[in-house]
Structure 1
Amino acid sequence: MTIARKTLDRRAFLSTAVFAGASLAAPAGFAQTLDAGVVQHEENAYTNMRRNMSSFRALEWQPYFSNLKNGAILVDTVSRALHYWSEDQSIYRLFPTSVPVSEELTRRGRTEVIRKVEGPTWSPTPSMKERNPDWPDFVPAGPDNPLGTHALYLSWQYYRIHGTHDTRKIGRKSSNGCVGLYNEHIKELFGYAKVGTQVLLI
């Protein structure tokens, strides 16, 4: 990609580099025009951005499932992404997620969707209540519900793939064991998934 203008402000340069897939090697004389500390800070920011982009990528289903009967969901707790493939392979979706806050709360392995609920209610698990005794025993469906607008219940007790009204949680270690999606994304996934859809957490 050729940059026609000789002078670029640093934000424009970095934005161009991101979309072009370019390295951060600046044009001759560019670094001398900027404060060295600012350049280093923005190089570090770009490096982190590039690392995040490389981990959040499309995957093929074959390394993870022997077949796509009833569709398949893969949750990658490292890249914090959920992948969905339909049984006939006509649909593939990739969504950002929240993941559990600690290894102790993280469960990995194979399970499946056993129930689908629109407008789920929520109650803390016994261990949650023990850690947070002030939490309510029951929260009805609505804007204060931690499960958001839709929930897929898994065969593992207390584990769900669900929405969240708190969008700050997505992309972070922020759950007590469940996998959270933006409400618009769980609504879409809810429409694709069925009781019996395979689920693998890695």
Structure 2
Amino acid sequence: MTLLTRRSLMIAGAAALVVPATARAAEGRRNVSSFASQDWRDHFDSLGKGCIVCDTESRALHYWSADGSDYRVYPTSVPKTDELTKRGYTEIVRKKVGPSWTPTASQMERFPDWRPVAGGAEDNPLGTHAMYLSWPAYLIHGTHDTRKIGRPSSDGCIGLYNEKIAELFEITPIGTQVRLI
């Protein structure tokens, strides 16, 4: 009798854990990685050359191709503070493999020992690829420091793993519309 009671309690306890997870999955608002789902139509009137939505809350970048047949989601790093976060509409205006990095004036005020880093350097904060936005000093770029992805760790940019920015770089044309939310 004790074994049956113990077994019944274990089964009931396991079911109690599974049911809420199943109910959450049925909602369809989040994928397996916990990124909030996005639809390009909620942000843009048309796909244009393509669309990117950078969601700073869920720390994900959503990409749609010009014909809508390719949708991808990438984990990102996001700005450390709201003061460093620029939100709104912009677009990709330039792309660079092996970008060099120069600290901005505000970064030099906060970190006077920072120095420019040559493109291709192992310690380059921009990683292997960069896509420049129409906003000065704001980029979507890679990072060699993989600990930053999934966390608020940038000075305003959106960072991706180097292999993911290389993938996104290849499929994203200049003129792709971007929205940071």
TM range (shorter): 0.7 to 0.9
Matches within 5 A, 1:7-86: 22-23=19-20, 55-86=34-65
1:85-120 CA distance string (max 9 Å, x none): 000111100001000000110000000000000011
Divergent runs of 4+, >3 A: 21-24, 51-55
Q: Residues 31-50 of structure 1: CA distance to partner in whole angstroms, max 9, x if unpaired?
A: xxxxxxxxxxxxxxxxxxxx
RMSD: 2.2
What's the offset of the Cα at 1:23? 3.7
Name the amino acid aligned to 2:91. Answer: E
Q: Deviations over 1:159-197 (max 9, x none)?
A: 000000000000000000000001111011101111100
Q: Residues 130 and 140 of structure 2 are in contact (CA less than 8 Å); yes or no, is this contact kept in structure 1? A: yes
Deviation string 1:53-112 (CA, Å, 9 cap, x unpaired) is: 574143221111100011000000000100000001111000010000001100000000
**2:31–2:37 contact (8 Å) kept in structure 1:** no
| Deviation digits for residues 135-168 of structure 1 (CA, Å, limit 9, x no counterpart) | 11x1012211000000000000000000000000
For the 8 Å contact 2:60–2:74, the answer to whether it is kept is yes
Alpha-carbon offset, residue 22 of structure 1: 4.0
Q: Structure 2 vs 1, CA of residues 58 and 177 (structure 1 numbering), >3 Å: closer, same or farther? A: same
Q: Is the 8 A contact 2:79 2:154 kept in 1?
A: yes
For normalisation by structure 1, the TM-score amounts to 0.74
2:104 is aligned to: 125
Contact kept, 8 Å, 1:106 with 1:177, in 2: the verdict is yes
Identity %: 59
Give the letter aligned to residue 165 of structure 2. I
The equivalences for 1:1-202 within 5 A come to 22-23=19-20, 55-136=34-115, 138-141=116-119, 142-202=121-181
User: What is the distance in 2 between the residues matched to 1:92 and 1:58?
Assistant: 11
**TM-score, length-scaled by structure 2:** 0.82
Structure 1 residue 52: Cα displacement:
9.4
Number of aligned positions between the proteins: 160
Cα distance in 1, alignment partners of residues 78 and 71 from structure 2: 21
CA distance in 2, matches of 1:100, 1:57: 18
